[in-house]
Amino acid sequence: MPYVNIKVTDENVTKEQKQALIQGTTQLLVDVLNKNPATTFVVIDEVNTDNWGIGFDQVTTLRQLAHT
């Protein structure tokens, strides 16, 4: 019973993109590990960019610096 947790920043990920992630992840587990899709769980967590850090900085700050 695989459980996959995908964490992405909450930057306008669409319902369709989430569905593609769920389908693609499930298919990968079927193809590589021969897992049953009915018992494969995929959870997508959207994390606010203030709550995600890279190095010493919040992603919010890094995004702002990239656009200046």
| Confidence (pLDDT) at 68 | 85
User: What is the mean pLDDT of the segment spanning 13-41?
Assistant: 98
Find the radius of gyration of the CA atoms of the chain: 15
User: Percent of the chain at pLDDT above 70?
Assistant: 100
- Spatial contact of 26 and 42, defined as CB atoms under 8 Å apart: yes
Active site residues: 2
Phi, then psi, of 5 in degrees rounded to 5: -115, 115
Domains and CATH numbers, the chain: 3-66 (3.30.429.10)
pTM, 2 dp? 0.87
pLDDT digits (tens, 9 = 90+) for 36-56: 999 999 999 999 999 999 999
- Spatial contact of 33 and 50, defined as CB atoms under 8 Å apart: no
